[in-house]
Amino acid sequence: MSELPSRLTAVTLGARDMPELRRFYRGLGWEELPSSDNNWAGFLLGGVLLALYPVEELSAEAANGAPAPAGWSGLTLICNVDRREQVDSAFAAAVAAGATAVEEPVDRSWGGRSAYIADPEGNRWEIAWAPGVQLDARGALIALGG
């Protein structure tokens, strides 16, 4: 292969407290892969793997041992929902599972509706509904726009 394929197969979050982060994502009702433990954990989400890996080990591999940034990294993960009203119910469910409310659900100037939460380690998630977004049966994004 002479080029990088245009695909995203996994997102890895460096975890400072693996047991707590695993507990949070299981608390959302997400099924953890059977091979998961406190050295590595995975959740298959609509065709993309959400991986959790101890931050020190991830830093050694991906950042030449540089320390992980404190606070928000500037990265936001997005979970699109099928209908506008699902933003509110998904937001409430995430907060009930232990997420921190960052921004309550609001209608956006771009025509959609979204809210922001943070997991126990501050990783930001946007829960969004956007006109024209099409998801397949797994929840994978298959089209964007009208």
In a domain, 89, yes or no: yes
pLDDT bracket for residue 71 (50, 70, 90): confident
In a domain, 15, yes or no: yes
Sheet holding 100-107, edge to edge: 76-80, 124-129, 113-118, 100-107
In a domain, 70, yes or no: no
- Model pLDDT, residue 74: 82
Same domain, 91 and 49: no
28: which 2 tokens? 């959302």
Average pLDDT taken over every residue of the chain: 93
In a domain, 54, yes or no: yes
* pTM, two decimal places: 0.90
In a domain, 66, yes or no: no
CA 143 to chain CA centroid, Å, is 19
Please measure the distance between the N-terminal and C-terminal CA atoms of the chain and give it in whole angstroms. Answer: 33
Same domain, 53 and 16: yes
pLDDT bracket for residue 145 (50, 70, 90): confident
Same domain, 45 and 87: no
Could you read off the pLDDT of 5-59 as tens digits, one per residue?
888 899 999 999 999 999 999 999 999 999 999 999 999 999 999 999 999 999 9
